[in-house]
Structure 1
Amino acid sequence: MAATLTDDEVGKTVVDAEQKELGIVAKVDGGRAYVDPNPSVAEHVMAAVGWEGEDEEDYLVTEDMIASVGDEIVLQGDL
Protein backbone atom coordinates (compact mmCIF):
# COMPACT_ATOMS: atom_id res chain seq x y z
CA MET A 1 0.00 0.00 0.00
CA ALA A 2 1.35 3.41 -0.98
CA ALA A 3 1.86 6.21 1.53
CA THR A 4 -0.49 9.19 1.43
CA LEU A 5 1.08 12.61 0.89
CA THR A 6 -0.42 15.72 2.48
CA ASP A 7 0.65 19.33 2.96
CA ASP A 8 2.15 18.20 6.30
CA GLU A 9 5.06 16.73 4.31
CA VAL A 10 6.26 20.15 3.07
CA GLY A 11 9.73 20.72 4.49
CA LYS A 12 10.46 17.07 5.24
CA THR A 13 13.70 15.53 4.08
CA VAL A 14 13.49 12.89 1.36
CA VAL A 15 15.99 10.01 1.52
CA ASP A 16 16.59 6.92 -0.56
CA ALA A 17 16.53 3.37 0.77
CA GLU A 18 20.18 3.72 1.89
CA GLN A 19 19.34 6.91 3.86
CA LYS A 20 21.12 9.21 1.38
CA GLU A 21 19.51 12.66 1.53
CA LEU A 22 17.91 13.61 -1.78
CA GLY A 23 16.32 16.97 -0.90
CA ILE A 24 13.29 18.46 0.83
CA VAL A 25 9.63 18.50 -0.10
CA ALA A 26 8.87 21.94 -1.55
CA LYS A 27 5.22 21.33 -2.44
CA VAL A 28 2.56 18.60 -2.35
CA ASP A 29 -0.18 18.55 -4.96
CA GLY A 30 -2.58 15.74 -5.82
CA GLY A 31 -0.62 12.93 -4.21
CA ARG A 32 2.66 14.11 -5.68
CA ALA A 33 5.59 15.71 -3.88
CA TYR A 34 7.85 18.20 -5.60
CA VAL A 35 11.32 17.67 -4.13
CA ASP A 36 14.00 20.37 -4.19
CA PRO A 37 17.38 18.63 -4.49
CA ASN A 38 19.39 21.74 -3.51
CA PRO A 39 17.31 23.81 -1.11
CA SER A 40 18.71 27.17 -0.03
CA VAL A 41 18.48 28.43 3.54
CA ALA A 42 15.53 30.60 2.50
CA GLU A 43 13.74 27.58 0.99
CA HIS A 44 14.27 25.61 4.22
CA VAL A 45 12.74 28.48 6.21
CA MET A 46 9.81 28.84 3.79
CA ALA A 47 9.10 25.10 4.01
CA ALA A 48 9.36 25.16 7.80
CA VAL A 49 6.59 27.77 8.01
CA GLY A 50 4.42 25.92 5.50
CA TRP A 51 4.94 28.12 2.45
CA GLU A 52 4.88 25.90 -0.58
CA GLY A 53 6.73 26.53 -3.77
CA GLU A 54 8.24 24.71 -6.69
CA ASP A 55 10.77 25.56 -9.35
CA GLU A 56 12.23 24.03 -12.49
CA GLU A 57 14.92 22.01 -10.67
CA ASP A 58 12.43 20.15 -8.46
CA TYR A 59 11.73 16.52 -9.23
CA LEU A 60 8.49 14.64 -8.79
CA VAL A 61 7.88 11.85 -6.26
CA THR A 62 4.58 10.00 -6.40
CA GLU A 63 2.95 8.10 -3.55
CA ASP A 64 3.72 4.71 -5.11
CA MET A 65 7.47 5.50 -4.95
CA ILE A 66 7.44 5.90 -1.16
CA ALA A 67 8.37 3.20 1.34
CA SER A 68 7.44 5.22 4.45
CA VAL A 69 6.48 8.66 5.71
CA GLY A 70 7.53 9.76 9.19
CA ASP A 71 9.94 12.47 10.27
CA GLU A 72 11.40 12.00 6.80
CA ILE A 73 10.17 10.45 3.58
CA VAL A 74 11.93 7.23 2.58
CA LEU A 75 11.77 6.10 -1.02
CA GLN A 76 11.54 2.47 -2.05
CA GLY A 77 14.78 0.74 -2.92
CA ASP A 78 13.58 -0.73 -6.21
CA LEU A 79 12.90 2.47 -8.18
Structure 2
Amino acid sequence: MTELTDDAVGKTVVGANGKELGVVASVEGGTAHVDPNPSLAEQVMSKIGWEDADDEDYRVTGDMVDHVGEEVVLQGDL
Protein backbone atom coordinates (compact mmCIF):
# COMPACT_ATOMS: atom_id res chain seq x y z
CA MET A 1 0.00 0.00 0.00
CA THR A 2 1.28 3.44 -0.95
CA GLU A 3 0.63 6.31 1.45
CA LEU A 4 -1.00 9.27 -0.26
CA THR A 5 -0.08 12.69 1.12
CA ASP A 6 -0.52 16.33 0.14
CA ASP A 7 2.64 15.90 -1.98
CA ALA A 8 0.41 14.14 -4.55
CA VAL A 9 -1.82 17.21 -5.05
CA GLY A 10 -1.48 18.55 -8.59
CA LYS A 11 0.06 15.34 -9.96
CA THR A 12 -1.38 13.52 -12.94
CA VAL A 13 -2.96 10.14 -12.20
CA VAL A 14 -2.22 7.46 -14.79
CA GLY A 15 -3.34 3.87 -15.18
CA ALA A 16 -0.85 1.01 -15.38
CA ASN A 17 -1.11 1.32 -19.17
CA GLY A 18 0.05 4.97 -19.03
CA LYS A 19 -3.33 6.51 -19.89
CA GLU A 20 -3.96 9.82 -18.10
CA LEU A 21 -7.00 9.59 -15.82
CA GLY A 22 -7.04 12.99 -14.14
CA VAL A 23 -5.27 15.24 -11.66
CA VAL A 24 -5.16 14.95 -7.86
CA ALA A 25 -7.25 17.88 -6.56
CA SER A 26 -6.82 17.12 -2.85
CA VAL A 27 -5.82 14.43 -0.36
CA GLU A 28 -7.77 13.84 2.84
CA GLY A 29 -7.07 11.02 5.28
CA GLY A 30 -4.89 9.14 2.80
CA THR A 31 -7.53 9.27 0.04
CA ALA A 32 -6.87 11.27 -3.13
CA HIS A 33 -9.73 13.10 -4.80
CA VAL A 34 -9.03 13.00 -8.54
CA ASP A 35 -10.58 15.43 -11.01
CA PRO A 36 -11.07 13.49 -14.27
CA ASN A 37 -11.47 16.61 -16.45
CA PRO A 38 -9.59 19.51 -14.91
CA SER A 39 -9.57 22.83 -16.71
CA LEU A 40 -6.26 24.66 -17.02
CA ALA A 41 -7.33 26.93 -14.15
CA GLU A 42 -8.18 23.91 -11.95
CA GLN A 43 -4.79 22.33 -12.71
CA VAL A 44 -2.97 25.49 -11.65
CA MET A 45 -5.16 25.88 -8.56
CA SER A 46 -4.49 22.28 -7.45
CA LYS A 47 -0.73 22.75 -7.83
CA ILE A 48 -0.82 25.73 -5.46
CA GLY A 49 -3.28 24.09 -3.06
CA TRP A 50 -6.38 26.13 -3.87
CA GLU A 51 -8.46 23.31 -5.41
CA ASP A 52 -10.75 21.16 -3.26
CA ALA A 53 -12.70 17.99 -3.95
CA ASP A 54 -16.01 18.38 -5.77
CA ASP A 55 -18.89 16.15 -6.87
CA GLU A 56 -17.31 14.95 -10.12
CA ASP A 57 -14.04 13.86 -8.51
CA TYR A 58 -13.39 10.18 -7.88
CA ARG A 59 -11.56 8.70 -4.90
CA VAL A 60 -8.25 6.83 -5.05
CA THR A 61 -6.96 5.05 -1.95
CA GLY A 62 -3.38 4.01 -1.21
CA ASP A 63 -4.09 0.33 -1.89
CA MET A 64 -5.02 1.24 -5.50
CA VAL A 65 -1.65 2.94 -6.14
CA ASP A 66 1.45 1.22 -7.49
CA HIS A 67 3.75 4.17 -6.84
CA VAL A 68 3.98 7.95 -6.65
CA GLY A 69 6.74 9.77 -8.48
CA GLU A 70 6.28 12.54 -11.03
CA GLU A 71 2.84 10.95 -11.51
CA VAL A 72 0.50 8.83 -9.39
CA VAL A 73 0.52 5.41 -11.09
CA LEU A 74 -2.34 3.02 -10.36
CA GLN A 75 -1.94 -0.76 -10.10
CA GLY A 76 -2.71 -2.84 -13.17
CA ASP A 77 -5.16 -5.21 -11.49
CA LEU A 78 -7.93 -2.76 -10.52
Task: Give yes or no for TM over 0.5.
Answer: yes
Quote the residue 1:66 is aligned against: 65
Runs of 4+ in 1 over 4 A off after TM superposition: none
* Structure 1, unaligned runs of 5 or more: none
Quote the residue 2:25 is aligned against: 26
TM-score normalized with structure 2 length: 0.96
Matches within 5 A, 1:1-79: 2-79=1-78
Can you list the C-alpha shifts for 1:15-46, whole angstroms capped at 9, x where unaligned? 00000000000010001000000001110110
Equivalents in 2 of 1:66, 1:4: separation in Å? 9
Verify the 8 A CA contact 2:42 2:51 in the aligned structure 1.
no
Number of residue pairs aligned between Structure 1 and Structure 2: 78
* Structure 2, unaligned runs of 5 or more: none
